[in-house]
């Protein structure tokens, strides 16, 4: 549904995140507890999946809807390990192998 408000369009962006594949192991047991974070024009709009425990191929089957305007610029997707830390206690970002 798109609308024109004072010369600028508005609408919705629906994202379906099905799964991740072949993520880098971050836990000592050779797996990870991955969750995904989607942001539109961070930090304005943010959605997060639940973590999937002990897997490198998480199935999230997650849907998020973001409001968009003519000024919407950047959609980001990050995948993090729930309990792994690096250095000063920061979460570990997961990457495909």
Which residue in 40, 61, 52, 44 sits closest to 79, CA to CA? 52
For residue 65, is it within any domain?
Answer: yes
* Angstrom distance (rounded) from CA 47 to CA 38: 5
Using only C-alpha atoms, the chain has a radius of gyration, in whole angstroms, of 16
What confidence tens digit (pLDDT) does each residue in 4-59 have?
455 577 899 999 999 999 888 877 888 889 999 999 988 889 999 999 999 999 99
Confidence of residue 90 (pLDDT cuts 50, 70, 90): very low
For residue 5, is it within any domain?
Answer: no
Total tally of structural domains belonging to the chain: 1
- Whichever domain contains 41, its CATH number is 2.60.40.150
Confidence of residue 88 (pLDDT cuts 50, 70, 90): very low
Report the helix count and the strand count for the chain, using DSSP H and E: 0, 7
Report residue 34 as tokens: 């991955």
Report residue 50 as tokens: 């639940």
For residue 34, is it within any domain?
Answer: yes
Confidence of residue 72 (pLDDT cuts 50, 70, 90): confident
For residue 97, is it within any domain?
Answer: no
């Amino acid at each position: 549904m798109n609308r024109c408000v004072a010369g600028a369009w508005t609408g919705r962006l629906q994202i379906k995140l099905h799964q991740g594949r072949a993520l880098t192991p971050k836990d000592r047991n050779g797996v990870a507890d991955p969750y995904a974070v989607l942001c539109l024009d961070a930090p304005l709009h943010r959605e997060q999946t639940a973590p999937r425990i002990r897997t490198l191929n998480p199935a999230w089957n997650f849907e998020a809807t973001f409001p968009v305007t003519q000024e919407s610029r950047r959609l980001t997707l990050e995948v993090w390990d729930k309990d792994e830390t690096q250095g000063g206690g920061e979460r570990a970002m997961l990457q495909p192998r």
